[in-house]
Amino acid sequence: MPEMNGKVAIITGGADGVGEALADDFLNRQAKGVYIIDINEKQGQETLNSLKDKHGAGRIQFRKCDVRYTDLLEGAFKDCLGQYGQLDIVCNNAGILNEYTRKLMIDINLTAVIEGTYLAVKYMGTQNGGKGGVVVNTASRVGLSPYKLAAVYAASKHGIVGFTRSVAFEPDVLSNEVRVVAICPTIIDTNMVSITLEKGTKYIKEFKQDIAVKPMLKTAIRNTDVGQGSSIRCYVCQGVGHRAAQCPSRVTDVNHDNGEQCLQCGAIGHVAKFCHRGRHRGQERKSVKPSTTTGAAAVPKMIEKDHLLLASGEQLKVVNGACMEQSGVVEDRTLPVSQGKVGDTVVTMLRDTECNGIIVKKSLEIDTPYLRGMVEALCVQDPIYDLIVGNVPGARPPDDPDPVWNMSEAVTTRAQEEIWLSDVTSTVVRLIEDGSANGTTRLIRVGKDPVDVCPPNIE
Ligand SMILES: NC(=O)C1=CN([C@@H]2O[C@H](COP(=O)(O)OP(=O)(O)OC[C@H]3O[C@@H](n4cnc5c(N)ncnc54)[C@H](O)[C@@H]3O)[C@@H](O)[C@H]2O)C=CC1
Ligand SMILES: CCCCC/C=C\C=C\C(=O)C/C=C\C/C=C\CCCC(=O)O
């Protein structure tokens, strides 16, 4: 994939599991160099050799280092820069799950991630001779909500999430042109799972009961030999005897070329979340028609798996399938979900690239990090979020919310309003309660266009 072309990445905890898979993926995407840091020398050498066999010797390095020692970690950063002359991406990924060694776990999972982030700013920052770059901190699903079977681990991951969300907007970090993001995966069948269930927690029985009632998680670890030690197992295909880096099934996975049709640009060979064509040109996307022209036919009736079933019978994929549990409950905080305001009401909003309109419960004016001003909107009784901002003119891309937007200070100056509204003046729309017996909300189009009332049963 071209976007990694010529980039150099450091990956901590890269000898195994998620880090190893990241290394392999970056190399497949034509990264210029991947520099693996890991405390496990034997595993590191093994991974180094297998990645060299696969990708060639010059593009992969391994350095034994315990991330808890910041001076040693800094030595590795310097060595990487010496080897490749540049650094563009830092993945602070090393982590453990052991509820019996609490301080150690916080040191590795949280403190080392914090130090690794500041080292990344120091060595990639534009004010320090670098070209800027990206920091990717590996948190977890349990960094976003409580997890009673691994409380200290969950605390360390909550710490990563809180730190990442804060440091990303630290003035020094912004001015150095370093982006800082976190990833929050749910359970992945790496050695971490088998090791944890062997000696990292006393709640093995509870964990097994937990996953037994969660089909998605059960699938994710379906072949883990709990308590059988750490035999080499591929977490991609679940097969024994090879690692993810050597997994034959990864070839298509890495290229995202599985014959599926992209909902954004219509092309075959990639899915919407990997679509680059539509990325900053939301208006070209064609998965959902603009709201006011669709009327009742486009009103979502119910969620079925990862689709909205429309009254017309049409099915629309509304958000990434990964966020839909089989129960139909949407719960994935890794989506671009933010707080926003509709009038004076604080709402949870989703910046949804699979949608071309705006969906609100009731709205006159919105104020969010992705879009502000009067909007044309589809009114739905129970949307999956109070406010969904699709690919309407003026909407910022999901990975580029307004960095200075602050909910508590969300006030609009007249000058700002004019700028924000410049794109939408032809169809300024008001949502009103029509006061009819059934309480139906109607869309009333005002502004430059003649007044036009949408079908009454739009809910
Ligand atoms: N496996 C899972 O279900 C999930 C894992 N994660 C996170 O993903 C990250 C990677 O985990 P996995 O690949 O699953 O585990 P893993 O155990 O397969 O890999 C972790 C790597 O980190 C290295 N490491 C541990 N302590 C270190 C230290 N002090 N210094 C340097 N390297 C060290 C290990 O040697 C190992 O190679 C961790 O931060 C973990 O918390 C997040 C969500 C789910
Ligand atoms: C208590 C034993 C946990 C063993 C799992 C091993 C590693 C997990 C690493 C994580 O980061 C955890 C990710 C997800 C949590 C696992 C199950 C969560 C069930 C969460 C839920 O209730 O949906």
Asked if 131 contacts 88 with a C-beta cutoff of 8 angstroms, the reply is yes
How far is it, in rounded angstroms, from Cα 279 to Cα 288?
A: 16
Tell me the whole-structure pTM to 2 decimals: 0.59
Whats the size of the chain, residue-wise? 459
Q: Which residue lies with its CA nearest to atom 40 of ligand 1?
A: 95
Q: Looking at the predicted structure, is the pLDDT value of residue 318 above 50? A: no
Handedness of CA 103, 106, 109, 113 (dihedral sign): negative
243: tokens are 């690692």
Distance of CA 131 from the midpoint of ligand 1 (Å): 28
How far is it, in rounded angstroms, from Cα 413 to Cα 372?
A: 12
Q: Which residue lies with its CA nearest to atom 28 of ligand 1?
A: 66
How far is it, in rounded angstroms, from Cα 365 to Cα 429?
A: 9
Q: pLDDT per residue over 329-371, tens digit each?
A: 233 445 677 777 666 666 677 777 766 666 665 444 677 778 8
* Ligand 1 neighbourhood includes 143 CB (under 6 angstroms): no
Distance of CA 160 from the midpoint of ligand 1 (Å): 14
Report strand pairing: 60-64 vs 33-38. parallel
pLDDT reported for residue 376: 63
Q: Which amino acid is at 447?
A: G
Q: pLDDT per residue over 203-260, tens digit each?
A: 988 888 887 766 666 555 544 333 233 345 555 555 665 555 555 554 333 233 344 5
Distance of CA 192 from the midpoint of ligand 1 (Å): 6
Average pLDDT, the chain: 70
68: tokens are 């808890």
Asked if 154 contacts 95 with a C-beta cutoff of 8 angstroms, the reply is no
Ligand number with the minimum distance to the CA of 69 = 1
Question: Can you tell me whether residue 106 is helix, strand or coil?
Answer: helix
Q: Which residue lies with its CA nearest to atom 34 of ligand 1?
A: 13
Q: Where do the DSSP E strands lie in 50-132? A: 60-64, 89-92
* Ligand 2 neighbourhood includes 92 CB (under 6 angstroms): no
Ligand number with the minimum distance to the CA of 201 = 2
> Is 153 one of the catalytic residues?
yes
pLDDT reported for residue 271: 53
Closest CA relative to residue 204, chosen from 221, 226, 184: 226
Q: Which residue lies with its CA nearest to atom 1 of ligand 2?
A: 149
Catalytic residue among 35, 84, 123, 153: 153
* Ligand 1 neighbourhood includes 355 CB (under 6 angstroms): no
Q: pLDDT per residue over 60-119, tens digit each?
A: 999 999 999 999 999 999 999 999 999 999 999 999 999 999 999 999 999 999 999 999
Q: How many CB atoms lie within 10 A of CB 126?
A: 13
